[in-house]
Chains A and B, each alone.
Chain A
Amino acid sequence: MAEQRKAQMSRRRLLATIGTAAGSSAMYQAMTTLGLAAESTYKVPIRLEGDPKGASVLVLGAGVAGLVAALELHQVGYKVQVLEYNDRAGGRCWSLRGGDRFTELGGFEQTCGFDKDLYFNPGPWRIPYHHGGILNYCKRLGVSLEPFIQVNYNANLHARNAFGGKPQRLRHVPSDFHGNVAELLAKAVSQDKLDQPVTAEDKELLLEALRQWGALDDNYAYKAGVLSSDRRGYQRDPGGGLMDEAVPSEPLPFAEILRSRVWFRLALGQIYEFQSTIFQPVGGMDMIARAFVREIGSLIRYNAKVTAIKQDDKHVTVTYVDARTGGTPMTATADWCLCTIPLSVLDQIDLDVGAPMMDAINAVPYGAAAKIGLQFKRRFWEEDEEIYGGITYTDLPIWQIGYSNTSYGSPGKGVLLGAYVFDSPYAYEFTALPPEDRLKKAVEYGAQIHPQYETEYENGIADGWHRVPWVLGCFGRWTEEARKQHYKDLCDIDGRIALAGEHASNIPAWQEGAVLSSLDAISRLHQRVVAG
């Protein structure tokens, strides 16, 4: 029966199945269809040609989009003023360090208790190599980068109901999955069980490819031995001198891998955005924001809460109050306005734009996400388990454990990302808990993967993004339908007001979306200014 079914499977389907598991063609094809694999159209660096003739621009929000706009417009001679709600620049480009305080909606205050030089990025934490916009600013502004480890073969894949709940080293699962699939397919190919004939030449090539890909032996079998251990690691590693000889490791039972469903994550590192090389700024993501501030910090007015944005045919007038004290409303006026305020906040501001932009602003709900940073007395993941950076994936509600991608081997304390979950009931459920309970949960779940949590955990800081007072969610969660109907109206300039931010991009929730959106908006705005 199984033989029959195998025989019925067409070559294309079979190869596509393998492609998916291997994360190659099928995954790439899916990504291309979705536009994910498209090259960025950004030209490095942007050129705003022509004289702005003293025109002024009011930039609302000093997140990545606002900072990019302020820097570029200022450099070509615009009079720029930036209004920012927080007492710092960066927005979601944000890092928390020891002593930092964060008060979320509802009044819960957390003080970060991390040791010196340890930090946690509650927002973005990685920059793919093809995010040329944000990387260009890192280069121009002197932000040091280091590798962000997405795939660590010694991190874990974990599923509660698989392998007796025991976490599996990532290197075991793809090796064994690919090995077994290669063996099955090699059998089908060599016995001419495919429903479409393969030329003799192709057959030979395919068999050789399967042997290489799956670490099969001369008989096209995947089994314990040097070949498979060169992929999945040894039970006892080769040593030196008269040490005991190496012992190959035993592959996991294929049926158990299939039933575990951990193959769900096998293609993760092959996602375009997760492919090597990925970067992180040395010292925390907010090093990017700080670098911008060094250039244009004097243009930013902090603690400014915008309450109204009005325009006529000559000017834009923005009313704002002191975010800490309230008090008398103040106004700022300019010829143009680039507004990067998240739509979840902008939809509550008295805003003078036409119905198409207004409808677009109202059409985008904000996604849920929770991220938790935990400090431990020592870097036990390195000391006990040889896990240097990277991510463990689990079906526990914490979804991920992200290990520190820097300062490997340093003595003393260490911080890891104890939970990162988004757009799932888990994200809402973490957010609904008081911060100390979020931490408790994260530690309780994490201990199921690393029992060291129980003795080594010290303190943490937990961010539920819907509780963040200045964004009310994590990112603009467009649907395909809403995008079709409203995206262009959101991006089109309305009179003297243009919008920018990750929400006005096709790369939601990534800093690159904010950068490209901002560059596109100011380019169009500049064309109008120069055209008079």
Chain B
Amino acid sequence: MSPEDQGKTLAVWRGMALAMVLTGAAASAAGAQSSDGSFTSPSHFMQRDGGVIYRTVCQGCHMAAAQGAVGTGAYPALANDPKLAATGYSVLVVVNGSKGMPPFGALLDDEQVAAVVNYVRSHFGISYPDSISSADVKLARP
């Protein structure tokens, strides 16, 4: 994490901010811990493949078959979500987050966002014919 990033983290957060910077954010140049790129960096996802990103990140909430989950609140199923028809919508949600969902724009680069959006839109019984490029993602960033 660069000093500038640290500054941003400090400005954005209170309370846990310093704890975070001082506990874990010392970016390490250590080699990959997992061959798929997960558990490799404390500050950025390193997975490149859309399916791997889905399984090692998104699945935490949206579940293995993109079926979502229900507790007091719910995580939406992606599998039957007609909103996914619009590539722009999917990209915006991943980059900016939505309501309780955190933004992933700072943790995934344009190519990674495109890869995972394209993966979701072509799996779990979904098969939209169009796909998006990292250039599309770049345009969608705030």
Contacts and interface: CB of A to CB of B under 8 A. Distances in A.
A265 B39 contact: no
Interface residues of B, number: 53
Given A35-B14, A161-B29, A431-B60, A273 B19 contact: yes
B72 A105 contact: no
Contacts of B139: none
B99 A426 contact: no
A473 B23 contact: no
Interface in B102-131: 102-103, 107
B50 to A, nearest CB: 14
Nearest to A429: B38
Interface in B18-49: 18-26, 28-30, 33, 38-46
A85 B72 CA distance: 7
Nearest to A345: B73
Given A348-B74, A367-B102, A393-B23, A159 B16 contact: no
Contacts of A262: 26
Contacts of A343: 100
Interface in B52-78: 55-61, 63-64, 69-75
Interface in A449-499: 464, 466-473, 475, 477-480
**Residue among A85, A262, A341, A425 with the highest chain B CB neighbour number at 10 A:** A425
Contact of A432 (B12, B42, B57, B73): B57
Contacts of B38: 425, 429
B16 A472 contact: no
Interface string A237-266: 000000000000000000000000110110
A529 to B, nearest CB: 28
Interface string A382-402: 000000000001011101100
Majority SS at the chain B contact face: loop
Contacts of B28: 159-161, 261, 395
A264 B99 contact: no
A397 B23 CA distance: 11
Nearest to A420: B23
A398 B58 CA distance: 20
Contacts of B61: 105, 431, 466-467, 472
A268 interface: yes
Given A106-B63, A424-B24, A429-B57, A271 B73 contact: no
Contact of A397 (B12, B16, B18, B39): B39
A172 to B, nearest CB: 18
Contacts of B12: 479-480
A472 B73 contact: yes
A147 interface: no
A423 B60 contact: no
Nearest to B23: A399
B20 to A, nearest CB: 6
A467 to B, nearest CB: 7
Contact of B99 (A31, A85, A365, A445): A365
B82 interface: no
B18 to A, nearest CB: 5
B100 A344 contact: yes
A333 interface: no
A421 B24 CA distance: 8
A148 to B, nearest CB: 14
B86 interface: no
A509 B60 contact: no
A507 interface: yes
B102 A425 contact: no
A469 B99 contact: no
A193 interface: no
B23 A268 contact: yes
B19 A274 contact: yes
Given A105-B75, A344-B99, A432-B56, A271 B22 contact: yes
A107 to B, nearest CB: 8
B32 to A, nearest CB: 11
Given A305-B72, A348-B73, A367-B102, A428 B33 contact: no
Interface in A96-119: 105-106
Nearest to A260: B26
Interface in A148-204: 159-161
A159 B101 contact: no
A110 to B, nearest CB: 15
A393 B42 CA distance: 14
B16 A428 contact: no
Nearest to B59: A432
Nearest to B58: A432
B100 A264 contact: no
Given A432-B56, A472-B72, 7 more contacts: A105-B75, A271-B22, A349-B73, A432-B55, A432-B59, A464-B60, A480-B12
Interface of B: 10-26, 28-30, 33, 38-46, 55-61, 63-64, 69-75, 97, 99-103, 107
16 contacts: A30-B18, A36-B15, A105-B63, A105-B69, A106-B64, A265-B23, A268-B19, A344-B100, A365-B100, A393-B23, A399-B23, A425-B43, A469-B71, A471-B72, A473-B102, A507-B14
What are the 9 tightest A-B residue pairs by CB atom distance, in nearest-first order? A469-B71, A344-B100, A345-B73, A431-B60, A432-B60, A105-B69, A264-B26, A160-B30, A365-B102
